[in-house]
Amino acid sequence: MRESLRAVESSQKKTFKSKQDNRKIQDSENSKNINLDLLVEHDKLSADIILKDQEISALKSQLIAARTSHQEAEALWKQITTENNNLKASIRNFEQIISQQKEEISILKNSRDKLSNLLGDMLRIHIKTDSVIENISFDNQNLQQQINKNQKPTIVIGDQVNVSDLTISILNPELKNQLNFIKSQTQYTSMQQIQAIINTLVKNYNNIENSNKILKDNLDALTENYNLQANELTIAKQTVNIIKTEWKKIISAEANLDKKAFITYNDSVLKSLGRILPNIQDYPDDTLESIKNSEYYNIIEALVASNLHLENQLEAANIALDEKDNFDSIIQTLGVSDINDAPKMINELQNKIQDYHNKEEILNKQLSDAQALIEKSKTDMIVNSDQISSSTHENELLRIKINDLENKLKVKQDELMLKDSENINVQVTIRREFDIERNNALKSKDFEIKSLKNTIENLQSEISAAKLEVKQEYQTIINDLKDQLNILQSKYKILNNKLIEESKLSSDRIKHLKRKYKDQIAGLINANMHQREIFEAAAKKMQAKSAQETQLTEKLTQALQDCNSRNRELLSQLQYTT
């Protein structure tokens, strides 16, 4: 059956293939000579158009990226310029503040005195630490000598040593008390006491050594602090030398202020002159001449000259005091409550100015790099624009060619339409023949499907009948086994009861009964074994039936798969033919 179906299918496939090949040959011969050159040229142009479109899209993406990078660079340039302007403004402000503070640092005389006092205190602390270190080193040497003596004992284990005879010459009272306590412990041997003394001395030595390390660390910290203070002192000396020149002005002004006492002292003389000569400028000339010739004129002239000189000195002193007050007010406006904090603030300002200068250099470098990037992006944009213009020109030429080809294609399509109208009748006849062949193939396939369904139904009925037979046989075997087991159990109970009844007899009687019933028990065992063999045979038969059933199911599944595959082939052939 299968071979006949395969033969039918192969014959149908061959007929379909031969018809399709003939049809393809006719179509190719009709259209090959007409469309070959046109299609080749069209493919070339389409490939060129695709390549040019790709180049245009790539150039557009490059142009967009260049524009975005240019915008980012411009934004970065604006940000950097604003930051640079802000930094320059802050630097100018700080330079103004520093120029003001350079004039105002003349008040730092007290800082020199404080630093000198601090240096004196540090020197005294250093001297004290030196003395402490010398004392500790001397104690360490003594302890080291004692430990060296104790670490080299001249005592042999076999010698008799009296620990109470040892003399302990140690200045530390606590250690001395510990050693005396060890000497007083008589329950231990002399060697144990000596070992305990050595251990305590070593422990004390280690403690002293640790304390020496701590003192050395403290000394190093003090020396470091001393060096820092010494550096600050040198800086203060330099600042004091700088401000001496400015300080002399104030000192000279303060020295000239002593002339105020002379002015206040001679105030009574001036007042007396005013009382003697009131409104001297309104006197007539002859009176003035008489005054000039008088003996008081020299005194008046000297007093007037001294008064003018003192007035000039008083103005200079007032100017110096005003400058001092202005200096104090400027310091207070800058936030300096104490003049001793001014050097620290100046150092901080100088550090900040240096940082701002460094930042300005970095920003200038970044600005130069950004300018270079902008120039590069401009050149790239120019190159990209040239490429875009050239590509657009090429695209225009290609479009013109494409339009010409489209016109040619329209003409060719019109010609082909005429030829297609001639081929319609041929296609109708081919379609009719194909429909007839397809219907015949479908009818044959329907017949095959029906036969396969009948075989499947027959197999299913056979399987169900086999299952019923197996179940019935299995049930009869089980019922027989149950009956035989019930009979054996009843016989075993009867024999057991007889054995219980006869157990009261003598041992000889029991042996006789055992020999008597031994054959019956053996027969029962043989019967049981026979029943087991029957059961195993039935089980094997059931396994064989199940194997047959699995084979039948496999055959059914295979038949269904074959049927499905044939149906799929038919559908594919139908789709291909349609």
**pLDDT score recorded for residue 64:** 75
What the block records as the tokens of 129 is 């630490």
Tell me the backbone φ, ψ of residue 127, rounded to 5 degrees: -65, -40
**pLDDT score recorded for residue 498:** 66
Q: Is 156 in a helix, a strand, or coil? A: coil
What the block records as the tokens of 239 is 């600042």
**pLDDT score recorded for residue 177:** 79
Contact 263, 314 (CB under 8 A): yes
Q: Please classify residue 79 by burial: count the beta carbons closer than 10 Å to its beta carbon, then call 0-12 exposed, 13-18 middle and 19+ buried.
A: exposed
Cα of first residue to Cα of last residue in the chain, in angstroms, is: 28
**pLDDT score recorded for residue 156:** 43
Report the largest interatomic distance among the alpha carbons of the chain, rounded to a whole angstrom: 200
Tokens 């701590």 appear where?
214
The predicted-structure confidence for 197-253, as pLDDT tens digits, reads as follows 778 777 777 777 777 677 667 667 666 765 676 565 566 555 545 555 554 554 454
> If you ran DSSP here, which 8-state letter would residue 296 be given?
T
Question: Could you tell me which residues come within 8 angstroms of residue 314 by beta carbon, excluding any fewer than 6 positions away?
Answer: 259, 260, 263
Phi-psi region of 279 (alpha: psi -120 to 50; beta: other; left: phi over 0): left
- 298-309 as b/e, with b when 16 or more CB fall inside 10 Å? eebeeeeebeee
Cβ count within 10 A of residue 342: 19
Residue ranges of the chain whose pLDDT lies below 50: 1, 152-159, 240, 247, 250-251, 253-276, 281, 576-578
Cβ count within 10 A of residue 283: 14
What whole-number distance in Å separates Cα of residue 235 and Cα of residue 542? Answer: 115
What the block records as the tokens of 428 is 């109708």
Tell me the backbone φ, ψ of residue 188, rounded to 5 degrees: -95, 160
**pLDDT score recorded for residue 39:** 62
pTM value? Answer: 0.21
**pLDDT score recorded for residue 158:** 41
What whole-number distance in Å separates Cα of residue 66 and Cα of residue 457? Answer: 78
